[in-house]
Amino acid sequence: MHELGGFGDAPALITTDETVNYRELAERIARKVPQLGAGRRLVLICGTNDVDVIVTYLAALFAGHPVLLAPGDSPDSLDGLIAAYGPDIVIRSVNGSTVIEERCTGSAHRLHPDLALLLTTSGSTGSPKLVRLSHRNVQSNAESIAEYLDIRGTDRAVTTLPMHYCYGLSVIHSHLLRGAALVLTTDSVTDPDFWDLFRRHHGTSFAGVPYTFDLLDRIGFDQLDLPHLRYITQAGGRLAPEKVRAYAELGRRRGWDLVVMYGQTEATARMAYLPPELTATHAHTIGRPIPGGSFRLEPVSDAPVGTGELIYAGPNVMLGYAHTPEDLGIGDTLRGELHTGDLARRSDDGLYEVVGRRSRFAKVFGLRIDLPHVESALTGHGLTACCAGGTDELIVAVQDSHDAADVRQSAARASGLPVSAVRVFLVDQLPRTSTGKPDFRAVAELARADQSAPAAEPTTAADTAAVRALYADILHCTQVTDDSTFVSLGGDSLSHVQMSLRLEKLLGYLPVNWHTTPIRDLAREPRQRRRWRTAETNVVLRAVAIVLIAGSHIHLFTLLGGAHVLLGVAGYNFARFHLGAAERTERLRHTLASVTRIAVPSMVWIGAVIALTGEYRITSALLLNGVLGPDGWSVEWRYWFVEAIVYIVLVVAAVLCIPFADRIERRNPFWFAMGFVALGLLTRYGLVDVDDGRNRILTASVVFWLFALGWAAAQSTTVWHRLCVTAVIVATVPGFFFGETRREVIVIGGLCLLVWVRSVPCPTLVNRVAGVLASASLYIYLTHFQVYLPLRDDHPWLALALSILVGVLYWQAVTVVLRLRRRLRFRLPGTAQPGSSLPSRASVLVSHRRVGPPGARV
């Protein structure tokens, strides 16, 4: 790299406490060099975005010492690298100060003259394999990046990535090369202090991996005022094309560019970039080679036509890998050409698109896991194992009888992953192909098949596999991971009751906020056995309300108001299950899926009744009675509640599709809900005239305010919030039901319970009965009109019992259909989930804990 002192008084490193200009930086480096000793030595540095660490790193490079950059936030990785390579010097931060630990006088290693830098591959694979880089590699890549990004001396890049990560390190190299400034911080982009620092120091750029853009979506990045921002770079994994286009368009409007890049640690950092002017039309590609580099495609026998392995050539290609300290003395083994392991194709306009991988690596939580290395490590423990990558998990099949917990621990250590990210399957024989080779696709299939296996009831902490299987079964999902939550998998009010009951049975209790808690955290608590269980208040309200509705219709008693309480419960559950942290489009997808699960069974039932009896108009089967039906009361209005829920949720979902509304809701969820309460009161009090007849209490637009009150109840996080909602309930419900005081009391009481009481203790049997009634409440409502009418006068209690029974049976029938549909989609050719690789034949049978090939003892 160029001599830094030549940039004079220009700022180089900026923190909240100081600004170091280039002249001062050069002086600090010069003072640091003697502390590293004479002669070339292997220097391990714990990389952090800290002034003194960067000064020490640059001093080591300028003095010719090979630097091994270690993660500064992972003591285990640090200890592993020290044990594997025995560095001569270890440099780390201790209580805010940089400490130099001299472990050897001179050097214990034979170091090749070209060796300058050692990096772990893609973060960490848990193995001691390192990428060996030369000064030429580092210099040429920094020059290429500075050229295509047009980095200027006036630029100021704010650090968003760790220094030990090749992407974060390339930001440091390329900006120091051009005399630009680095604004050093460890704050997240979700922290307001990050953006205050960005604005205060006139930040012009920052770098992001795909997850960074998920965080930007959550904080309303498109509304931030960043007047000096010139460009954002993205690498570290594939960013969805639609998100690339969205951010590129946002940048076009706000005056900055998005630069999508592609690279690997083995190429120092970058190999390709997509020019900003091409993002709108070529967002699915990695673009073109960086200046000084080139691509070619090498044919692969089993790759699709037109694709091949992407081979990169350029001066930034590493010298090779190091597996042991002896490899530090080896020179260039690749001669400037890198087999990326990615399958790609080239478009007619010279741009490249990556379409898959050909080597045995797995990406788990963004880390590239060397599967053969993990298998080799397990072999060293006397295990015969085969590994595959799953959805954010490592799948390990182990032959013969072993302790699964011990295997998980060993695989976790070998891969560098947490234990919770490893799934172990004990098999009698490893699945193999017809040629006798390990069948990796069959190993991956073990995890997918296990999702439908019945869950065991553990006696200590719940097995994450059992919880995953439970979620997969109830939510009809094929992609369930330890990081999944009930909300993220599209859970809604129809499925949450069954899920909560079975989860409580599995765990022994129901954790607070279980619906937004990742599976891995649910499974950590030890199993608890209780005679009494807790039932969520909204579950109890649904169970009681449906009994009140049916019983009142049968004339067993007159306790009306249950349906209007259910409107509040619907709003409460809408807020809980559809207004999480997911992106706007994901929210919409889950909401529409939930509406479908309400509308379709309703339309099927009502349509069947029309076909058999001709009792209703076709508008009822289409759920259009509220729009096209008669003005006065008629039998078609029996299903007003279903129509109201469908109409209301669709309208709210449409509003939340508006970016501005979505941002406001995320920033002020409670007051946004109260705003909808205020809008609902316009029709409730007739300020916006909708229906002057008695049907007004059944009209979706008039009863909407009750749904909004439930929504606000769910978003109440303080006592003042709850008092505010309660005050509105008490003030607005009276007078709505034409003087029916008993109904008003029931509605006020039900809604206030929703506001103030989250759960109630009850005996196990009562809990289960309430769960069944709540789960089947929609179906009981749909079917009870056809059941009770012939029996109401002579056998009212029988009418109630049969109404409930038929509703429960219809609920079970719908559940079976959904489960079969999911299994058909999973098994039919061409219907695999994106990213999955279903084998053409089943090679193993699966039980909950042990699996084996056909005919084997399972």
End-of-domain residue from the set 356, 384, 416? 356
**pLDDT recorded at residue 514:** 74
- Cβ-based burial of 800 (10 A; exposed 0-12, middle 13-18, buried ≥19): buried
Strands 130-134 and 320-322: antiparallel
* Chain segment 315-371, per-residue pLDDT in tens: 999 999 999 999 999 999 999 999 998 889 999 899 999 877 676 777 776 567 778
223-252: pLDDT as tens digits: 999 999 999 999 988 888 999 999 999 999
Tokens (6 digits) for 850:
């042990």
- Does 253 fall in a domain? yes
Annotate 204-228 with DSSP letters as a single string. Answer: -EEEE-HHHHHHHHHTTGGG---TT
Give the Cα separation of 307 and 303 in Å (integer).
6
Q: Are 299 and 252 in contact (CB under 8 A)?
A: no
Pair (383, 309) in one structural domain: no
pLDDT the model gives residue 853: 31
Q: How far apart are CA 383 and CA 400, in angstroms?
A: 9
Residue 450: per-residue pLDDT: 65
Is position 548 within any domain? no
Q: Are residues 377 and 321 located together in one domain of the fold?
A: no
- Model confidence pLDDT, tens digit, residues 467-478: 777 777 677 665
CA nearest to 236, candidates 307, 301, 171: 171
Q: Which of 306, 325, 356 is the last residue of a domain?
A: 356
Same domain for 122 and 32?
yes
Query: Are residues 397 and 332 part of one domain?
Result: no
Mean pLDDT for all residues in the chain: 84
Q: Are residues 187 and 331 in the same domain?
A: yes
Domain boundary among 356, 377, 401: 356
SS3 at position 287: strand
Task: Specify the pLDDT at position 150.
Answer: 97
Going by pLDDT thresholds of 50, 70 and 90, the confidence category of residue 379 is confident
Do 115 and 32 fall into the same domain?
yes
* Contact (Cβ atoms closer than 8 angstroms) between residue 307 and residue 316: no
Predicted confidence at residue 849, as pLDDT, reads 31
486 and 461 fall within a common domain: yes
Instruction: Give percent of the chain above pLDDT 90.
Output: 53
Q: Which pair of tokens denotes residue 742?
A: 């008993």
Asked whether the predicted pLDDT for residue 693 surpasses 60, the reply is no
Residues 413 and 332 in one domain: no
Give the least confident one: 385-394, 493-502, 719-728. 493-502
Position 530 in a domain: no
pLDDT for 755 beyond 70: yes
Instruction: Give me the mean pLDDT over the 490-507 stretch.
Output: 70
Half-sphere exposure of 256 (CA within 13 A, CB side): 21
Q: What does R_g of the chain's alpha carbons equal in angstroms?
A: 31
Quick: pLDDT tens for 9-26.
999 999 998 999 999 999
How many domains would you assign to the chain? 3
pLDDT tens digits, one per residue of 797-824: 999 999 999 999 998 899 888 767 655 5
Flag whether pLDDT at 632 surpasses 80. Answer: no
Strand, helix or coil for residue 383:
coil
Higher pLDDT among residues 388 and 145, named by residue? 145
The reply to whether 29 and 111 lie within a common domain is yes
Position with higher pLDDT, 467 vs 41: 41
Highest mean predicted confidence (pLDDT) among 355-369, 556-570, 575-589, 829-843: 556-570
With 0-12 / 13-18 / 19 or more C-beta atoms within 10 angstroms meaning exposed / middle / buried, residue 436 is exposed
Q: Residue 407 — φ and ψ, nearest 5°?
A: -60, -45
Average pLDDT over residues 843-852: 29
**pLDDT above 70 coverage of the chain, percent:** 85
**Does 386 map to a domain?**
yes
List the domain range (segments joined by +) for residue 436: 362-499+843-858
Instruction: Check whether residue 407 and residue 342 sit in a common domain.
Output: no
Same domain, 22 and 100: yes
Residue 518 lies in a domain: no
CA distance 565 to 745: 11
Q: Select the more confidently predicted residue: 558 or 420.
A: 558
Checking if the pLDDT of 128 tops 80, the result is no
Residue 409: pLDDT band with limits 50, 70, 90: confident
Q: Does residue 449 lie in a domain region?
A: yes
| Rounded CA separation 419/433 (Å) | 29
544 is a domain residue: no
Q: What share of the chain is helix, strand, coil (3-state, %, to 5)?
A: 50, 15, 35
Whole-angstrom distance, CA of residue 831 vs CA of residue 134: 47
- 115 close to 263: Cβ distance less than 8 angstroms: no
The verdict on residue 717 lying in a domain is: yes
**Same domain? 78 vs 177:** yes
Q: Where is average pLDDT lowest: 162-176, 455-469, 539-553?
A: 455-469
CATH number at residue 12: 3.40.50.12780
